[in-house]
Structure 1
Amino acid sequence: MAAKITMADIARMAGVTKSTVSRYFNGGSVKESTRDRIQEIIEQYNYEPNTFARLKARESNVIGVVVPTLNSKVTSRVITSIGRYLRDQGYETLIKDSDHSIELELRNIQRLITQNVDGILLSAITITEEHRQLLGECPIPVVVLAQEYEEGISVLQDDYGAGVAMGRLVGESCRKRAEASGRQQAQVAYLGVEESDVAVGIRRRQGVEEGLRQKGITDVSFFKGDYSYESGQQMARKALEKGVPDAMICATDRLAFGAYRVLGERGIRIPDLVAVAGFGGYDESELLTPALTTLRFDSYALGYLGAETVLKLIREEPVPKKQIVDFQLVPGKSVT
């Protein structure tokens, strides 16, 4: 019995793109030699195309965009950048919000395929086996944003490098604080998110841990929650049950907002008693007292590169397998 293969496998074995294989199934224009190679592979593996493979008959000039949430400053920057670029190129966007649900994210991808969009930009919550199966059968180009997709094309933030930079900054502050008080070791609390989000839940946390280690800080307590303001408060309260740390590093600015609320309620002064840092570079972070030390990813570049890349794939132009956008530290007054 022949092994089960996907449309992506056929494209790879035939040395063509998935768009070419899709055109084959839809009776579009494909070189005779290419058509023969695809037909041989189909017969060899007894491939039966699914419903999606026969949907893409003509261009719609619409790009589907799947995002984890609309309630995010970073997401709004990415969507804004995508929309601007695609409008200039004569395309429209169709946005689907997954509300941080992996199941809804998969359904959103399926719906966009059936709605005959020309390509999909997927700001992924995570990449599961179900994602790999669905994307492998997808007859249209997909570019994954914010998560690394080894089997396809992705545009990423440097979550690990950003974590290292923030860990080093906060670690240096904590080291000086501990030395000034005659302590040998500083204590840090990390307020993070679940590991299902590999980029933020794992890579960003690992970077922070490495940055702190480079500054001699190894006493780190890790807490996991979701992305909400309320979760930031809950994790901050749990951290304080172990005593007041020298610093709270938060995986997002919104979590840092929650930490500010709890520390303020308890009269714990920032940065005199505890330093606080976040990731995101939200404009509101500058309005806090003291202004939050944070890190801003180039979210506009993320959206622009993603949009540019998916159009190149539609036109069957070569693209890098992985692209990484830059970041910058935004010094506030919450870390001294």
Structure 2
Amino acid sequence: MVTINDIARLAGVAKSTVSRYLNGGSVSAKTKEKLDRIIAETEYTPNAFAQSLKSKKPSMIGIIIPRLNSYATNEILSSIDEELRNKQYQLLITNTNQDIGREIENINTLSRQKVAGIIILATVITPAHMKAIRSSGLPVIFLGQKARDSYSIVHDEVEAGRSIGQHAIDLGHKKILYVTVFEDDVAVGQLRKKGVLDILTEHKDIEVKVITSDFNYQKAYEQALSYLPKSDATYCICATDNIALAVYKAALTLGKKVPSDISISGFGGYDITNLVTPSITTVKYHYKEMGRIAVENMIRLIDGEEVLKCITLGNEFLPKESTAKL
């Protein structure tokens, strides 16, 4: 691996001269031409992280994610990475495995590592989060959860919930099972559920039972094996596509047919919902657009410009084969 010392030796100049050149400092035209040629020949790549620590304006953006095995997270990350590269910034990713304590710890760690700003895909937002953010002095943008005293980009969860609830009504279902997640997750556990239940409870002849499940596919599958045999619901609305896939598998394991015995739908618009047969009804969320806007707003905040405190993105209802009329 070629180092800055190798470049200096080949060019016959001091290491400080190479460093100054790499960081945009002033060097003679002759030296610049020589360094351009040597770097091209050796295919030397500067360490962006080290450069950002040395420069007055950091070129690293930190991002905190809740888990690695998430379609939504991967879609957002790929969009953010592409946008940042186009703007000459690098991405530093930290994973918390849905541990709130690690989220706080990572905010402090990224602050010490001199990143220019932090993007957080938070499951929850606590006073401890906000305290760490204030201490960092950095621009911070939350994705997916609305923060009262910080910047946020969120999905229209209530409208998404209402669209699925209305779909169940239009298909004539009277007994509905709603599989949610813990309520500390305001976006999914509260607002998404509110959208579903608000529209269903407008109809007195509809019976709704709420079950709390887990984001994890295997855990959601095992839970579904337990509650599905006890339910007479003809439609199961799942809080995420991941849960919908778990319920789908559990239903098949129990000998139920989808959608003739039970209709199933989710939220997210994951690609895999099109790969199973029958394909799964869902609400598509615009994750890549969220990533694009996050980068755009972060750069503006770093440059001292004003941005909206909260941006709400719409979604798209996608009826497919897993739901049917009674």
Q: What interval of TM-score do these two structures reach, taking the shorter chain for normalisation?
A: 0.7 to 0.9
State, as a whole percentage, how many aligned pairs show the same letter.
Answer: 31
1:275 counterpart = 2:263: yes
Measure, in 1, the Cα distance between the counterparts of 2:133 and 2:205. Answer: 41
Change (3 A) 1:104 1:56: farther
Cα displacement (A) at 1:197: 1.1
Measure, in 1, the Cα distance between the counterparts of 2:163 and 2:179. Answer: 17
Residue-by-residue CA offset, 1:28-59 (whole Å, 9 max, x unaligned): xxxxxxxxxxxxxxxxxxxxxxxxxxx99932
Measure, in 1, the Cα distance between the counterparts of 2:187 and 2:230. Answer: 28
Structure 2 length-normalised TM:
0.80
Write the letter of the residue equivalent to 1:326.
G
1:143 counterpart = 2:131: no
Partner residue, 2:175:
187
Partner residue, 2:100:
102
Change (3 A) 1:187 1:238: farther
Measure, in 1, the Cα distance between the counterparts of 2:178 and 2:69. Answer: 23
Query: Radius of gyration: which is bigger?
Result: 2
Measure, in 2, the Cα distance between the counterparts of 1:297 and 1:121. Answer: 19
Measure, in 1, the Cα distance between the counterparts of 2:70 and 2:289. Answer: 17
Partner residue, 1:122:
120
Question: How many pairs does the alignment contain?
Answer: 272
Which among 151, 159, 162 is matched to residue 161 of structure 1? 159
1:251 counterpart = 2:239: yes
1:300 counterpart = 2:298: no
1:287 counterpart = 2:286: no
Partner residue, 1:26:
none
Which among 187, 198, 218 is matched to residue 210 of structure 1? 198
Cα displacement (A) at 1:171: 2.5
Cα displacement (A) at 1:114: 0.6
Asked if the contact 2:225–2:254 (Cα under 8 Å) also holds between the matched residues in 1, the reply is no
Cα displacement (A) at 1:69: 1.1
Measure, in 2, the Cα distance between the counterparts of 1:215 and 1:68. Answer: 37
Measure, in 2, the Cα distance between the counterparts of 1:300 and 1:161. Answer: 19
Asked if the contact 1:191–1:236 (Cα under 8 Å) also holds between the matched residues in 2, the reply is no
Cα displacement (A) at 1:216: 5.0
Cα displacement (A) at 1:215: 5.2
Where 2:201 maps in the other structure, the secondary structure is: helix
Measure, in 2, the Cα distance between the counterparts of 1:123 and 1:206. Answer: 21
Asked if the contact 1:223–1:235 (Cα under 8 Å) also holds between the matched residues in 2, the reply is no
Partner residue, 1:33:
none
Residue-by-residue CA offset, 1:66-106 (whole Å, 9 max, x unaligned): 11111111111101111111111110100111111111111
Asked if the contact 1:69–1:98 (Cα under 8 Å) also holds between the matched residues in 2, the reply is yes
Measure, in 2, the Cα distance between the counterparts of 1:251 and 1:68. Answer: 17
Write the letter of the residue equivalent to 1:147.
Q
Change (3 A) 1:56 1:162: farther
Contiguous gaps of at least 5 residues in structure 2: 1-52
Q: What does residue range 1-336 of structure 1 map to in structure 2 within 5 Å?
A: 58-173=56-171, 176-177=172-173, 186-214=174-202, 218-336=206-324
Write the letter of the residue equivalent to 1:135.
I
Partner residue, 1:181:
none
Cα displacement (A) at 1:224: 1.3
Cα displacement (A) at 1:166: 1.1
Where 2:316 maps in the other structure, the secondary structure is: strand
Partner residue, 1:4:
none
Cα displacement (A) at 1:213: 2.7
Of the structure 1 ranges 129-138 and 276-285, higher mean CA displacement relative to structure 2 is found in: 129-138
Measure, in 2, the Cα distance between the counterparts of 1:110 and 1:101. Answer: 15
Write the letter of the residue equivalent to 1:97.
N
Where 1:90 maps in the other structure, the secondary structure is: coil
Cα displacement (A) at 1:242: 3.0
Asked if the contact 1:171–1:212 (Cα under 8 Å) also holds between the matched residues in 2, the reply is yes
Asked if the contact 2:240–2:267 (Cα under 8 Å) also holds between the matched residues in 1, the reply is yes
Structure 1 length-normalised TM:
0.77
